[in-house]
Amino acid sequence: MNFIPVILWSDALVFLLIAACITATLYVRRREHLLLPWRRVAQSSMAMVSLLVLSLFLLVGLLDTLHFRIALPQSNNGEKVYSPEVLSVFDKVVEPLRTHTEKTYSAPFALTLYAKESMTDAQGNIVREYPRLRFGGAHLADEAARDGDIAKRASVGALMGLLAGGVLMLLVRRWFAQTAVLVTILIAGTLIGAIANLSTAYHVLGTDKVGADVLYLSLKSIRTGLIIGTVTTLVTLPLALFLGVAAGYFRGWVDDVIQYIYTVLSSIPSVLLIAAAVLMMQVTIDTHPEWFTTSASRADLRLVFLCLILGMTSWTGLCRLLRGETLKLREMEYIQAAQSFGVSSMRILTRHIMPNVMHIILIALVMDFSGLVLAEAVLSYVGVGVDPSMISFGTMINGARLEMGREPMVWWALAAAFSFMLVLVLAANLFADAVRDAFDPRLNRTEVK
């Protein structure tokens, strides 16, 4: 075998989350009353368009979650030696973007570096010129032919993407008949085809300080944002669900203790609490280098702990909502009737309370996703987020902070991170609005009337 699979901690959590989603989907499909709100979501064109955009991000994130290490040519006493670099399936798919690195900054679609360097001309004189890039536009002998070549490659790529989008549209037309969804598929296919064809010959979004392709960095940042936005729910959900329901149902001293806990946590500035926890975690990681076989596993552990810390500090809002809803449900007649017949508290909680608060949980989690993605960007910007060696929107923005102040200004790294994060968060927010409208009982009751 020329490679060995690698499962990082975050990969395992993602696989666990996928298994949970598949289980929940099978459970919902067998129950009509749970399937009905999702049918309302499917009838919304805005929701389906947003879901389509999110699916593209999820596909990139999933491909970037399948990690492996390749075998090196040399061997150690007949045993294969594997590279310390951990790659992903996504890295292999976009390998030219990853390997075609330049010396330093270059603007989008540029043929030369962004700054002049001292060079020796044919007569032996030292002159200040813009050096040609090693890969960006290297196939062009005449720089004047760049614009025509870009237009040609963009047109060919857009046509191929349009054809692929048309085939996909015909395949999914049976399940998604909304015109907006079909048009979005064609637009997305055209755009992806054009960018993919251009990226084989140019740096579409330029390069950063070390010459890395900014488009590649932006795409690699998607996984980090998705991990922060989804895996954190594995920590938030159990705490908020069990503590919130317990506080609202049992009341008394149980309610007082839980209220005291989340009131104290809410009164502490979250950024300071997260920063303190991350710094303590970093000290532990630095003092135990023997725990890690690769730099990727070291950075991944910090990412997992960041998800854990964010989950420990962000469950209070959902817990408060669930406590209030459980207090209301506890006074309902069917709950009091169950108590009168001697039904155990555990059975009441699992059979009557929890199913009736699931709409709040789903709405809150979907709407908190975008907030967590933005939180990672802010925390990485101030230096207490993911490991500096891990690519994320926050580290891109942090790296572009000083670039904006130089002359000439390097703007494309910040613009790329902002644009990708904007599309991801906007799609998540629009989908969350559709889910809220479909699951909110008050809105559904109004429609019935």
Using the predicted structure, report yes or no on whether residue 443 has a pLDDT greater than 60: no
Weakest-pLDDT range from 90-94, 131-135, 292-296: 292-296
Using the predicted structure, report yes or no on whether residue 429 has a pLDDT greater than 90: no
- The model's pLDDT over 65-122, given as tens digits with 9 standing for 90+, comes to 999 988 887 766 667 788 888 899 999 999 988 988 888 888 899 888 888 887 777 7
pLDDT computed for residue 442 by the predictor? 56
Domains annotated on the chain, with CATH: 109-203 (no CATH), 219-439 (1.10.3720.10)
Using the predicted structure, report yes or no on whether residue 160 has a pLDDT greater than 90: yes
Provide the H-helix boundaries in 173-210.
Answer: 179-199
Predicted confidence band at 158 (pLDDT cuts at 50, 70, 90)?
A: very high
Burial group, residue 177, by CB count within 10 angstroms (0-12, 13-18, 19+) = exposed
- From the CB of residue 253, how many other CB atoms can be counted at a distance below 10 Å? 8
Q: DSSP 3-state assignment of 386?
A: coil
- The model's pLDDT over 212-229, given as tens digits with 9 standing for 90+, comes to 999 999 999 999 989 988
DSSP H or E run through 128: strand 126-129
Q: Span 198-208, mean pLDDT?
A: 91
The string of DSSP letters for 157-172 reads HHHHHHHHHHHHHHHH
- Give 346's strand partners: none
Global pTM?
0.87
CA angle 4, 282, 63 (to 5 degrees): 35
**CA atoms within a 13 Å half-sphere pointing along the CA-CB vector of 252:** 3
Q: Span 24-32, mean pLDDT?
A: 85
Q: Please report how the helices 45-63 and 179-199 are oriented relative to each other, as an axis angle in degrees rounded to 10.
A: 30
> Contact, 394 vs 386, CB < 8 A?
yes
- Give 70's strand partners: 3
Using the predicted structure, report yes or no on whether residue 209 has a pLDDT greater than 60: yes
Nearest of 434, 449, 421 to residue 46 by alpha carbon: 434
pLDDT computed for residue 78 by the predictor? 67
DSSP H or E run through 213: none
CA distance 177 to 159: 23
Mean pLDDT, the chain, whole residue set: 85
The string of DSSP letters for 219-276 reads HHHHHHHHHHHHHHHHHHHHHHHHHHHHHHHH-HHHHHHHHHHHHHHHHS-HHHHHHH
